[in-house]
Chain A
Amino acid sequence: MNLNLSAFISGLIFGLGLVLAQMTNPEKVLAFLDVAGNWDPSLALVMVGALLTLGTLQRLIRKPSEQIQDTDLQTCVNPKAKIDVKLITGSAIFGIGWGLSGFCPGPALVSLTAGLAGGYVFVAAMFIGFLLFNSLHRGR
């Protein structure tokens, strides 16, 4: 299949999953993260559904780690990659931002068509965060 078409279909299915699960709703996500409040555990089920589905399908696909093309996320699939300070610090910082807003990257991008100022501001700031990483850690 054409790589662009297959990527488009994957993005579309991904987005529909986020919308169906209401992960695109920051208040719903925050209710999941608010364990001490009126806790809404339903988003844990999103992860269960996704992990079971992907876990099963990738066993059938049998794609070895080496075949997966080099992206910065290669570290996720490389069994030899080490746990380092960057992983912990980056994830900790990411979590603070997620907890402040209820937005992670996918849902924030999906929210762009809702015409909400908060979504635009978050996505713009997120791309500035990407650029900040590039300028600080890639010597450019």
Chain B
Amino acid sequence: MTYLTVLSSLGGGVLIGLAAAWLLFFNNRTAGISGIAAGILPPWQQGDAWRYWFLAGLIISAPLWKLFGGSVQIQIDAPLVVLAVAGLLVGYGARLGGGCTSGHGICGNARLSVRSIVATLTFMTTAGITVFLVRHGL
């Protein structure tokens, strides 16, 4: 881990925390990405427009970063069928558990919510075990 990695990791985290505080302050909302994204599916409710605007900002961030000379590294090694299964599990699991890495991992933990702490420990554990089995066990 280089000095630069430490800085970019911390800096990225600060931006994520800032974004969540911003949404909390102006929109009275928690920045849980799975909840925001799932909310664009029917049944549609009035006052859901902000979700599209949030997601638009999120998606446009990478090309904007590139436009200003930054590099965006995305390396996906998993086969498509594995990604399809993983996406299904992530989508369903995040909804069933009431949040994902952002909702529980950042917003809930920052409020010291016991539910979020339990959720975070749970998904960190199963993610770690899964990676271990895939890379070292199977």
Seen from chain A, the residues whose Cβ lies within 8 Å of a Cβ on chain B are: 1, 3-28, 30, 33-37, 40-43, 45-55, 57-58, 61, 63, 65, 67-69, 71-79, 81-83, 86-106, 108-114, 116-119, 121-134, 137, 140
Contact = CB atoms under 8 A, between A and B. Distances in A.
A71 to B, nearest CB: 5
B12 A21 contact: yes
Interface of B: 1, 5-6, 8-39, 41, 43, 49-51, 53-65, 70, 72-78, 80, 82-111, 113-116, 118-120, 122-132, 134-136
Contacts, number: 504
Contacts of A28: 73, 75
B127 A95 contact: yes
A45 B10 contact: yes
B22 A91 contact: no
**Chain A interface main SS type:** helix
A61 B89 contact: no
A102 B135 CA distance: 13
Contacts of A10: 19-20, 22-23, 26-27, 31, 54, 57
Given A129-B87, A137-B96, A57 B30 contact: no
B27 A73 contact: no
A91 B125 CA distance: 10
B16 A21 contact: yes
B10 to A, nearest CB: 4
A22 B59 contact: no
Contacts of B98: 72-73, 75-76, 86-87, 90
B16 A11 contact: no
A18 B93 contact: no
Contacts of A81: 113, 115
Given A13-B18, A121-B87, A126-B90, 10 more contacts: A10-B19, A13-B22, A22-B9, A47-B109, A49-B11, A58-B110, A90-B95, A91-B122, A99-B126, A124-B87
